[in-house]
Structure 1
Amino acid sequence: MSLLEDARNIQRKDPAARSVLEVILLYPGFHILVYHRIAHWLYEHGHFFLARWVSQHGRHKTGIEIHPGAQIGRCLFIDHGMGIVFGETTVIGDNCTIYHGVTLGGTGKDTGKRHPTLGNNVLIGAGTKVLGPVYIGDNARIGAGSVVLRNLPANCTAVGVPAEVVRINNKAVNPADDLDQQDLPDVMAQRLTELDRRISRLEKDAQGDVPPSIHEVIQKQQR
């Protein structure tokens, strides 16, 4: 894997990138990969302080925080990048896409493996939080603003807080859902709507069980 390959990958995936040279000079998503390549090498060779110094310098320059211990595969595309955080034991597969505001973090003070592992070709939408030593399968897509707290299977689409799988192998889990990537379902809104329907049915049933009033009885007798 080379830095030139990283730059070409970004230029290929970002329609706003006019050239590879523009990516190399102006894209923070590329710059942080350069910083991380150096920091990770230092980390692997036991130079932990220097590794953190390099990663912190990259954070201040790009707004992206990647721990030197994080393992990143080929062709990672970080779009925009501001506010991204990858923890120490994070593992990212090849050809993944991650948008701004994403956290691949831990859930406490546990030691050992405590951060997420992403398979290949994973896409994570803006503002999503993936927490703990969860595994995200190959080709998974996670909608913006989701919170992932458990493993997700390969070839799925997940959305919501907490995230729920709404599509697997390009087939909707609920056939009624419209799963266009630009109009992902709001899981919480669906639940609230269903609760509202149940309450309405209960109210109607309760009204049907109420005995008629005296006034209603008199009116019926007069007829």
Structure 2
Amino acid sequence: MFDRLKGYLDSVKARDPSPRSRWEILFYPGVWALGLHRVAHWLYEAKLYFLARFVNHFSRFLTAIDIHPGAEIGKNFFIDHGFTVVGETAQIGDNVTIYQNVTLGGTNPTNGVGGKRHPTIGDNVIIGSGAQIIGPITLGERARVGANAVVVEDVPAGATMVGFKARSTLIPAEEWMREFIPYGITPECEDAEGNRIDCIEKLEVELKVLKAEIEALKAEHELNVPPQRSGTDD
């Protein structure tokens, strides 16, 4: 047991040049969060869900790191600093490094039934601060994610991802009428041929058509209105 702990602390020291000893690393919030998660996950697998949640909430209070008890985490996982969220169905491989303010988040299952909603992170992956990894996607081994990147698609092994992919969408009325949309994710739109497109593109096309129709109505109205007579009748 102590050999495994020493090996883990040494793996952290190899990735962080600031600590001068293993004792210093023991005060890291990421180390405490991982240790408490091991307990919470054991309780979760034993179907002691309330106790698992209790340990999870205590860990979040203590470390500002929220790891769902159901998340599966491999060896030598290191969260440098805090304010990180790991979802229930996330799977994390060995020797993964995550910096502060990272979210391994979920998406709304299309059938409304909870399933695999969170990312799968391969071995030796590094995720920069502020990155958002969303949905049941896979980050291949040795992948790198830059700070504040938003990743919503699979990442090949060894690839480096930077930037964000946010876009504006027009929410369909049937979705807007619902009381709650999990994770704030709505479907994409379809064009007349049934091809999936960005809703904003469809909205821009419809706006151009409406403008053209308004201009045509204005021109027709001007042609049909008789000219105004000036002055008074004799």
* Common fold by TM > 0.5: yes
CA contact (8 A) 1:123 1:140 kept: yes
Identity %: 52
Q: What amino acid is the match of 1:10?
A: V
Partner of 1:10: 12
Deviation of the 1:4 alpha carbon: 3.3
Give the whole-Å Cα distance in 2 for the aligned partners of 1:3 and 1:50. 25
**AA partner of residue 7 (structure 2):** E
Q: Tell me if the contact between 1:91 and 1:117 (Cα under 8 Å) persists in the aligned partners.
A: yes
Q: Report if the CA contact (8 A) 1:6-1:30 is conserved.
A: no
- Kindly state the Cα deviation for residue 98 of structure 1 after the two structures are TM-superposed: 0.3
Q: Which residue of 2 aligns with 1:67?
A: 68
* Cross-structure match for 1:142: 145
Whole-Å separation in 2 of the counterparts to 1:115 and 1:5 = 29
How many Å separate the matches in 2 of 1:32 and 1:3?
14
How many aligned positions are there? 161
Larger radius of gyration between Structure 1 and Structure 2: 2
Equivalent residue of 1:16, what SS?
Answer: coil
2:101 alignment counterpart:
101
Cα deviation, residue 162, structure 1: 1.9
Q: Which residue of 2 aligns with 1:113?
A: 116
Paired AA for residue 11 in structure 2: N
Cα deviation 1:128-164 (Å, max 9, x = unaligned) = 000010000000001100000110100101111129x
Deviation of the 1:107 alpha carbon: 1.8
- Counterpart residue type for residue 16 of structure 1: S
CA contact (8 A) 1:135 1:151 kept: yes
Gaps of 5+ in 2: 167-234
The CA RMSD measured in Å over matched residues stands at 1.4
CA distance in 2, matches of 1:32, 1:6: 14
Tell me what 1:58 maps to: 59
| 4+ residue runs over 3 A deviation | 1-4
1:77 to partner: Cα distance = 1.4
Question: How far apart in 1 are the matches of 2:13 and 2:149?
Answer: 27
For residues 189-208 of structure 1, what are the structure 2 equivalents within 5 Å?
Answer: none
Tell me the distance in 1 between the aligned counterparts of 2:32 and 2:41: 14
Question: Aligned letter for 2:41?
Answer: H
What amino acid does structure 2 have at the position aligned with 1:87?
G
Q: Which residue of 2 aligns with 1:85?
A: 85
What is the aligned partner in structure 2 of residue 156 from structure 1?
Answer: 159
